[in-house]
Chains A and B, each alone.
Chain A
């Protein structure tokens, strides 16, 4: 085997490993789409899959609360959640533009977009991010939210990573919208509200676990996720029984 050949074999192995990783991310996401699945859990999985599979530092997901606002429902890190909150409080940023228009919004260099979103760009740069991509959670004319990818390195998020992330986002969106059409058209409003209530419930449960076990909120969330995984239960159900276990509801 020549040196050139072995380099090619090496490249091939890397490509194959990469392909397998991506396939695993899709399968893992599809695996959560069982009957009556937990939307918050699905979106939490989506944000983690992006960070695990792609060259991105953080991912966060916002959902339309149907009251004219977006709400953070999942984030891979506390930094990205805070940047999202800054985006919502200041009513400016790529994810808002993305959900409003239903199309992809990219900033490859946030320092050059300080005029476009002055407060958002500042918050994102302060959190250590240098570029951002916002992808719509969209099926045909319906946009239910957005997926934000953050990068802290100098290299912006690559077009291929962007395409894979959009694929993952599409799987999640189709899952959410399909669950609805199996029943009836109005279930979307019901599901989104239910997901937002779940999110609140999980925050309450994080507080209970954090106080009881002496953990920070991120570790408390990990523990709740672990219990859900180990007992094969829905995250929301674990959260509910945790909160109700203290002194009734």
Chain B
């Protein structure tokens, strides 16, 4: 499947934000070369709010990492980069050192490969998408690309869950253009709020005015539009 078709499929699955995490995970298991998938959702304070998974092994792996405070998923969220371990039993330089307990538990469950992708927009950490496989081996390049796009779809859905507002045109595409990120920083200072809240305010404004997010962002960057507390 080409990436365009894949992103349309993901967008359709994410129409209802509350159900989006489970729908996205199901699509990953159906279309990517993995045995199971899980998602951990971060809260405003960076802690984990909830986890969801496609099967019992995935669920166990997901919860285990947050209980132990170690594992690829934990590292992916804290470091803001994917953590890819295609052979847990033969990963010489990090798994045994970094995640001794997780590794033992994962192998007792038969998990041989883990691929964790952060769902993050710059400083805004939304969660982690985790894919597991019962046989070792790297993700094929097309599966890697598809997983990254799925993580973007997850970010979109999680942002909507936080803000409760849908993008004006219904489909919310990452990555944003730079002005959206620049405007996020500016609105943060104008309102003294977090980056996540600033982005949500930009989105609400776009939604209320029936305009694209990028148009509102450009107005902020060009200093034609300022946000103030009264608009809230």
Name B145's closest neighbour in chain A (CB-CB). Answer: A67
Residue of A nearest to B148 (CB): A67
What 0/1 pattern do residues 87 to 108 of B give for CB contact below 8 A with A?
A: 0000111100000000000000
Query: Are B188's CB and A194's CB within 8 A?
Result: no
Judge whether A247 and B188 touch: CB under 8 Å: yes
Which residues of B, 178-197, contact A by the 8 Å Cβ criterion? 178, 181-190, 192-197
A91 contacts chain B at the CB level, 8 A cutoff? no
Contact A201 B183 (CB under 8 A): no
A190: interface (CB < 8 Å): yes
Contact yes or no, A207 B149, CB < 8 A: no
Interface size of A by Cβ–Cβ distance < 8 Å?
A: 37
CA distance A184 to B187 in the complex (A): 40
A206→B185 CA distance, assembly (Å): 7
Q: Is B138's beta carbon under 8 Å from chain A?
A: yes
| Interface footprint category on B | 35 or more
Q: Are A191 and B181 in contact (CB under 8 A)?
A: no
**A205–B124 CB distance below 8 A:** no
In the complex the two chains form, is B190's CB within 8 Å of A193's CB? no
CB distance B193 to A193 under 8 Å?
Answer: no
Contact of A200 with B122 in the complex, beta carbons under 8 Å: yes
Within 8 Å by CB of B175, from A186, A200, A212, lies A200
Contact flags (1/0) for A201-218 with B, using CB distance below 8 Å? Answer: 101111111111000010
A175 to chain B, nearest CB (A): 17
B188 near A200 with CB under 8 A, answer no
- Measured CB to CB, the closest approach of chain B to A83, in angstroms, equals 14
Looking at the complex, which one of B124, B148, B177 makes contact with A193 (CB distance below 8 Å)?
Answer: B148
A85–B92 CA distance with the chains assembled, in angstroms: 41
Among A183, A186, A212, A240, contact of B138 (Cβ-Cβ < 8 Å): A186
Q: Is the CB of A196 within 8 A of B182?
A: no
Q: A196-B175, A249-B195 are in contact. Are A201 and B123 (CB under 8 A)?
A: yes
Per the bound structure, the CA–CA distance linking A186 and B3 in Å amounts to 21
**Minimum C-beta distance from B98 to chain A (A):** 12
Verify B175–A71 contact, CB threshold 8 A.
yes
Contact B86 A203 (CB under 8 A): no
- Flag if B148 contacts A211 (CB, 8 Å): no
Residues of A within 8 A of B195 (CB): 204, 243, 246, 249
Q: Which stretch of B27-35, B59-67, B75-83, B162-170 is in the interface? A: B75-83
In the complex, the answer to whether A246 meets B192 with C-beta atoms within 8 Å is: yes
- Report the bound CA distance from A198 to B52 in whole Å: 28
Contact between B123 and A204 (Cβ–Cβ < 8 Å)?
yes
Return A233 CB to nearest CB of chain B, in Å.
16
B152 to chain A, nearest CB (A): 8
Assess whether B182 is in contact with A203, with CB atoms less than 8 Å apart.
Answer: yes
CB distance from B141 to the nearest CB of A (A): 8
B206 at the interface (CB under 8 A from A): no
Please determine whether B175 and A65 come into contact, CB atoms closer than 8 angstroms: yes
Contact B93 A184 (CB under 8 A): yes
Residue of A nearest to B79 (CB): A194
Whether A207 and B184, one on each chain, are in contact in the complex, defined by CB atoms closer than 8 angstroms, is yes
List chain B residues, Cβ under 8 A from A244. Answer: 123
Which A residues are CB-close (under 8 A) to B82?
189-190, 193
Contacts of A208 in B (CB 8 A): 185-186, 188-189
Query: A249–B46 Cα gap in the complex (Å)?
Result: 8
The reply to whether B83 and A210 contact each other, CB–CB distance below 8 Å, is no
Closest beta carbon of chain A to B142's beta carbon, Å: 9
Minimum CB distance partner of A195 in chain B? B81
Besides A200-B122, A211-B185, 9 more A-B contacts (Cβ < 8 Å) are: A189-B144, A194-B79, A204-B184, A204-B185, A204-B195, A207-B183, A207-B184, A243-B195, A249-B196
Binding site for B on A (CB under 8 A): 65-68, 71, 85, 183-186, 189-191, 193-194, 196-197, 200-201, 203-212, 217, 240, 243-244, 246-249
List 12 contacting pairs A-B, 8 Å CB cutoff, sorted by A.
A65-B175, A186-B85, A200-B122, A204-B185, A204-B188, A206-B182, A207-B187, A211-B188, A217-B182, A240-B123, A243-B195, A247-B193
